[in-house]
Structure 1
């Protein structure tokens, strides 16, 4: 129950781990996204603040341009010459008259004015280009600065994404490597588990042998704890160097396998007292200080080393050097031979020539004693059932339990590792996508920065060209205007008298000069107004663009999304805290379950020890009970003998006519005692305990001194006196030889003889009649049995051959032999099976699968003699490999009778005509069956 609960808790922990990994991954992603968005929001805030400053400066500049435009209009209106209609007409007339006088100077002046306008236009264009270049330069510098910040931010984000991607990739690589290593470990463990299962199946030791070995091991452990100086059992302190030497070493150490090696005889005595106090079975102890070791004979050593197939038994085992004295004592003169021929040659030929005596043991377990006797211990020569194999069985089972536990852990880790790997792969793809996006963003920033820097360089180069050109045009315009003023001054001197009356009438110094300056100023104002309007349009366009940019950034305000992400991060952190608490709670429960499981294992071991002690105590009590029952049986037998002797004496006294005084029973009971064969005082099933019988002798007539001598030495002396007196009387009777009752006795005896003869004749006739009937029945039974045996014996060979045949070799052989051919019922039947490609061995030495095939062959042979309506085979294929399962299923498929097979192997039931499965219906708490007809599939395949 605790193991089941522990498995459930581990499954919960495994299910919780992927959720925690996904939660942590989502939390890290949101925190990174939140950090990026916060950084981007700060940059957007700074950019928006700069845009607001630019917008304010543009609006201030727009207001200045509007004020400048209004100031120019007002100044031009103030300086306008106020002509009346007559004055204007007079001014135009005088102007036309003077143009004829100053035609040459007027042409020159108009040409100069034309040049001035052209140079001014070029200057204005150059100055506009210069302003545009300066504005463009400022915008480009601002954009380059922003792109530099964006590049730095994108590079930092790319570096963080690259580091995060490398971390995720490293974690994924480590996880994949761990999963791959666990997969390799799982394959190795499964392969090792299969090998261990095969090894366990090859062992032929019984559970009784294993239990006995465990009990002895526990007793030895208790001795080591109670008595210092106990080293351990011989079978535990040595190990054969090769598996093929197990049988030989097992035979060589047969007497000492369970012996306990101790350091001294005092320790051995303490161990003996310990066993007696606890009524444990006796054991053999080998005190190393008191062992007499003759040492290895160098002649035997050189003889063994000079021949192949021979080796010293001491060289066939591995042991600690501190126990060398004990193993020299046990195996110092033992030689292991490969075959019996090698052993016989050594023991009877070469060793005798050198005068060396030794014990020889073959690999098959045959032994040649020092005196030349050959022997084979069938129990010690069983392959897979030696004492060393028992130790390996325990170690193999322990290793199998460890492997099963580790396989369960690997399965759990694979289940959790799969989900964790899926989460990491998803997180890696997301991080890679983010890093790729950052790389593309960085690339765009770098490309745009490169482009803007190129544009800035071009604008600076253009500005370096435009500024000198504007300065040159301004100087050229100033020169032309100076020349224009000189020409105008000359013309004014030439026509000053023509405009004198009009100037006086208007109250000005020179009306023509005033009108010319106003017109020139008007042209300048008009040019400035055009430039101001153009600049005003540009400023308005920039203001509109900035407002649109600010509005777009306002619509992309990330604060709401940042708040949402922060809320989700808070929820994920709370969830992580909850998952952490759940994980700690489950881990504490797992630790508690593991502690309880360890306590349960410890309690189980204690119970096993206590159970072993109780079993030993029960065994001792059974032995005491058997001893008491034997004693009671002996006393009962002695009682029967005494009662029989007493009855004989009473009969003899009656025959001799001796009166015996009786307290109970009388002469009638004495007469019945004489006529019956059973002693009258013999106890029967119906007689109550303590009842003395129908005859009780009265000893009251005896003298007091003789009644007092009823037991002890006085009774013996009295009996000897009586016997002496009887002997004297008998001799006297023989001397006298009187027979006073001879006639009466003869008549009685004759009648008895006649009656006995008649009864004997009747009994003889009955016996003859019964013997005749018995012989007839016995003859009929033998005939039927021999008929059955001959048919089965003839059929079992082909059946076994068909069952064991395969594609690579013919089948094996099987025989049935009677131990007593004359009277089969006085003996048994010898069943011999020899698998293909194997030598002859007894049936009990075959493997589990070979025994199964032999048993199935016998079953099918019996079925061939008397065919049943159907057969039921219940998991007979459990110990069979794939080839034997295939052969058995093929034979069953071809059998003449219907067969119901219970099997868990698909190689068997795939050949069936129909399948029936039993399953549990949990909602209804009932059993249900499923059936499947396979014949239609077989017909469709054909």
Structure 2
């Protein structure tokens, strides 16, 4: 067009006149046509750009929609799978509540719930990772509409996963909840073990305190009531102290359950306070009665002493001038003794009453006033006895009587020899008189003796008859009295009989009614028995159906797992293929973008501009060329359909290729970069193979590590359960009633936090082993050692003074256990306790002589008294068989005190 205008300008300059005018008009027309064509070309280009943009946007939306369609099914499937696993875990957790008191069922339910929760958590984690990755991919989508839709759908799946996670969270702590419920049960049982006896002791103390309101009580009754109240107080104090300790240590569920017992504990405390008040009142009343009773006894003893003193004064009131000297001295001494005793009794009673008056003032107001009033009355009686005692005259000897008494004593002493001779002569004369009396009695002969015997016998019979008559009279009077009582009793019995007959008639009526009711109840019972049998049968059938359903569910679950694994494998393969397609598509897009940036179309535009001046070409040819150029450009940028490919001329494509090759030659590309790329690509592929091999080896090693970890966990839990049960048995056997327990700090990973060793000594609470005394630690440690020996025996044990902190009973228990029950092991024990080393199979004693340590070995069984061997079974080994232990011969040396003893033995 520029050349045409230039030629027109030259022609216009060279022409004149009319031709020049016509050429000017033609130039103007050409310019107008050129302007119109330029405007139309701009419109065409604008419409073409807009169409290309719309097509590109539509293409982007289609591509993004296809990616979304490929993405959402897998994400939805993973979310649904995670939700299904959560539902399965929730259904499995219902077995815990259905287990009730069956600990095995509950443990199995807890284990299955934990496994299902782990699987569900893993599925939720996998789904979240997948959805998060897809959300990151969605952000890179170019279509705003598809990106919004994808974001909404993925947000819904995230919400679904969050709801499943919220439902799964309580199931993840099912073992902790179970352990917490078990701990709560132990705490409540421990509190109730103290609180229930406390309430029983309160009942007994209430009964004992109620007895204090009766009459005729004694100190024993008061002491029994006091002991009962003290025991109840101590027991309640122990229970309240334990309750406060557990409440301070409790948290969560334990705190809630412990707080439920607070009302009961406070009620027991109030009851103890009321018991103390009632006991104090009853004790004061009983103490007052006993005090008055004791005061009355004291006053009675004073009265008796005063009476004895008055009796001793009697001979002196009648005169003692005629009495012999001995009787006079005896009377004087008796009177002095009685007076002294009476004065002493009065003093003691006066002091006793004064003390008790002071004690009575410490009682409550009413008992204190009554007791003080009665004690004052007793004091008045005591003063009366004291006045009477003071009015008595105690006889005394004057100086003349005393001198005369001494002279008489000397005379008696001087005449004592003569008195002995006279007594001897008197005895001789008595013997003669006795012989003469016997002779006189034998004068009548045998007949007289028989007659006397008959007289004596008759006299005795008369006396017996007289006594029997008197007894008969007394019996007759008693019979008359008994007959009157019997008549009264008979009358009363008749009245009672009439009442009993009425009662019997009523009871018969009630019995008949009860028979009727009993028949109805019996029929109901039989009917219920039949119904119960049917229900039991139905329950058995339901249990069988449940077991069958569980088995089918397990089989279906295993099939489901296989299908899910197969489906995941196929999805993984499909995903890999889609990934490859996407990768190649991305590479193609990048290549197309790079192609768009190349300045290869400038030549085409230049040719199109030059071709515009060719006026000889027809409009159809121009349209055909434009169509060919358009298809060529679309073939470079997008994939052509079958119809469009048929419209493409191969010659045009070849020409286009030649043109592009010429353009490449003109551009002078760096072809060595291709070789470098091939070399780098080959190196990448080689190293990628090495990486995949190392990665597969790492995955295989990781699988083996997980298998080993699982095997270690299973073996550890099996051994842990066996050791825990054996530890409980050993500790109960050693301590005769204690309890011990091993607990995992972290039940999900036992190897992370370790094990807690808790011990409950007999009649004590649960404690950690670090809080035990020396002896309790020794018993707990030995129980654990024996439990470990039961699980995995060790051939040799060396124990250094394990019995140092034990008493003789526990030493005997440990020694006998080592001696009789430990199998397949040899124990070398260093001990200074005879209860330990006396049971050894071989003793090695260490002693020192002349500052040199020596040893001696002895066989304790050689010093035992040999007994006849018991009958042995044919299967038992003899003590001297091949498996018998032969002690070392004793080392010669002087006998000395054994300082340390090693006892070793091996049980066969």
The TM-score with structure 2 as length reference comes to: 0.20
Which structure's relative contact order is higher, taking Cα pairs within 8 Å and 6+ residues apart?
1
TM-score normalized by the length of structure 1: 0.19
